[in-house]
Structure 1
Amino acid sequence: MSEPTRRPRPARRGRLARFTAAFAVLIGLVAYVAVHYVTGSMGAPRCTVGTGANRYEFTPEQASNAATIAAVGTSRGMPERAVTIALATALQESGLRNIEHGDRDSLGLFQQRPSMGWGTPAQILDPVYSSGRFYEGLADVPGYSRLPLTVAAQKVQRSGFPQAYAKHEPDATLLSASLTGRSPASLSCTAAPVEGRPGDPVRVRDELVRAFGKGTAPQAVLKGAGSAGASAAGGAAAELSVPVRQTTGTREQRGWELAQWAVARAEELRIAEVAYGDRVWVADEASGDWEPAKSRGTDGTSVRIRLAR
């Protein structure tokens, strides 16, 4: 009986070689993705406050809403503790997202109900309006700043789960320290590439005034045609200078409040660069951190905002 015909070994070695090559390519791809994820040059835009274990990471959408909540509070002369209570409440109620649904007719950042007199649906879905209504309710609570956060929040919200607010207090405390300016350069954000849709200086001005008041109306810094700050929209400025006027805290704290508001809202408002004092934040930087300003800083009396073009 003849022996079975054996298949030649070279084909087997060829398959092994192809497998080895494919595996090497896969390992290289994984390494590439890992490196770029760590350095921040890949992945979705994100924001962080704090360091190490005492750190909170969130999305640009959440950062934008948190910045609005903080700005509305300080513009009404509310203390940092009030901002912390408001942020913890919004973290529990909506995850800092301006949602158009909820329990029964609840809407928005604070899940306020039109049927309970909080306002119309359109008003409640305006973060400036809904934040203002929350602070109005909080201001009517005697001694709210000395109460446990759960108690103070519950007296405004009348939630079915009042103890749930407590778990958000550490993150809300980090956010409020940063967004009120008490913790300078503590908010870092990566942003989508600034190419494409340009920033609108009129919209940025309107958002600043709505959140902080008319005293923050920026001055347009006009740029010549073809310069880095020029806008294609009829010569409108792509760079704004926001005056820093001392309010309840120091001028420096107010400056950092405005600067970190701009970084938190950079994704939505198409802000490419923010500078205050000797620090600058640039949207295209992979780390999203504040860096030494060198020649791009300010003298401390204004915050410079450069828009995408």
Structure 2
Amino acid sequence: MRPNWPRIITLLAVLAMVSGLLWGAAVIWSNVTKQPLPMDDQCRAEANGGTVTLTLEQARNATIITSVALRRGLPARAVTIALATAYQESGIRNLDYGHADSVGLFQQRPSKGWGSVKQIMDPYYSSAKFYDALVRVKNWRTGDVNDVAQAVQRSAHPEAYRKHVSKARVLSSVLTGATPGGFSCKVGSPGKADADGLNDLLSKAFSGRVETRVTGRTVVVQANSEGIAWAAANLAAAHTGRYGVARVSVGPADWVHDTRTLASWTGIGGGRSVTIATRS
């Protein structure tokens, strides 16, 4: 029997069109939800039965937001409020645009006294300014997360933060170290090893809370608490793509980066010492 080429060609064309539509829908979904596609570079946090997936940019920013709270001695609740706010305002992205003159992670406005554009575009500065305003809210430790966030931001959409609270709680639990070993990242093409750059990042992020040193391609961190140790480990994993992180250990716990899958932590245990090996 001779093949029916017109029919085969038509079928292939239809399959190609359907595949294109599905791919387009997936890309639109990713853009709208601010979540990576399964094949994309990404990070994932898991805690208390919840899972949150982040792009690498979101993960880097989330760990910095967390580190600023921890070095100020603020509890995980402060991080939850900050992350719920950043989710709504920018998708946890450091945007150089926004409504009116709003910019940055929290869409803070120079005209409203938050600082200059250059200052607000610094995630450390913008996070610190957010926490400055947060702790002035009378009931921030006990009040409804959405309402406290609104008291800081004074948004035209006062209920908008509520839909992000569950994700923010998962991230806060993991990134502050309250849920050890709940964070992993995969980067298809990690950057070159830069132990010195990673050391500088950790020293800045956890200033006053850690002591760090570089030995060859390895960074060793001595934290002042187990929670800070895990937070430092998570920050290092989130920056795998920039500094070529290959392996992170917290005491007996070990995480080895995999370019294809989200590797799990093994040997979960306690400790204040973190060892981070960069690529050879």
TM class by smaller structure: 0.7 to 0.9
Pick aligned residue for 2:224 from 245, 249, 261: 245
Secondary structure class of the residue paired with 2:138:
coil
2:25 maps to none
How far residue 53 of structure 1 moved from its aligned partner, in angstroms, is 7.1
How far residue 298 of structure 1 moved from its aligned partner, in angstroms, is 9.6
Deviations 1:83-135 (A, max 9, x none): 10000000000000001000011000000111111111111111111000000
Query: Does 2:232 align with 1:258?
Result: yes
Aligned equivalents of 1:299, 1:215: Cα separation in 2: 17
**Which stretch has the larger CA shift, 149-158 or 108-117?**
149-158
How far residue 51 of structure 1 moved from its aligned partner, in angstroms, is 6.8
Pick aligned residue for 2:196 from 198, 202, 210: 202
Opposite residue 54 of structure 1, the aligned amino acid is: G
Pick aligned residue for 1:114 from 89, 110, 115: 110
1:278 maps to 252
Secondary structure class of the residue paired with 2:119:
helix
Q: Would the aligned equivalents of 2:89 and 2:107 in 1 still touch at CA under 8 Å?
A: yes
- What do you get for the CA RMSD once the two structures are aligned? 2.7
Q: Would the aligned equivalents of 1:67 and 1:265 in 2 still touch at CA under 8 Å?
A: no
Q: Would the aligned equivalents of 2:222 and 2:272 in 1 still touch at CA under 8 Å?
A: yes
Deviations 1:153-207 (A, max 9, x none): 112111111200010000000000000000011112112233xx41322321221
Opposite residue 290 of structure 1, the aligned amino acid is: S
How far residue 270 of structure 1 moved from its aligned partner, in angstroms, is 2.7
Please, which runs of 5 or more residues in structure 1 have no aligned partner? 1-8, 31-41, 222-236
Aligned runs of 1:138-153 on 2, under 5 Å? 138-153=134-149
Aligned equivalents of 2:254, 2:184: Cα separation in 1: 11
How far residue 210 of structure 1 moved from its aligned partner, in angstroms, is 1.8
**Amino-acid identity (%):** 37
Query: Does 2:130 align with 1:156?
Result: no
Secondary structure class of the residue paired with 1:172:
helix
Opposite residue 198 of structure 2, the aligned amino acid is: V
Secondary structure class of the residue paired with 1:71:
helix
How far residue 244 of structure 1 moved from its aligned partner, in angstroms, is 2.1
Equivalences, count: 256
Q: Would the aligned equivalents of 2:67 and 2:205 in 1 still touch at CA under 8 Å?
A: yes
TM-score by length of 2: 0.82
**Which stretch has the larger CA shift, 83-92 or 258-267?**
258-267
Aligned equivalents of 1:13, 1:201: Cα separation in 2: 61
2:274 maps to 303
Aligned equivalents of 2:272, 2:127: Cα separation in 1: 28
Q: Is the alpha carbon distance of 1:75 and 1:204 closer, same or farther for their aligned partners in structure 2, counting shifts above 3 Å? A: same
Max Rg structure = 1
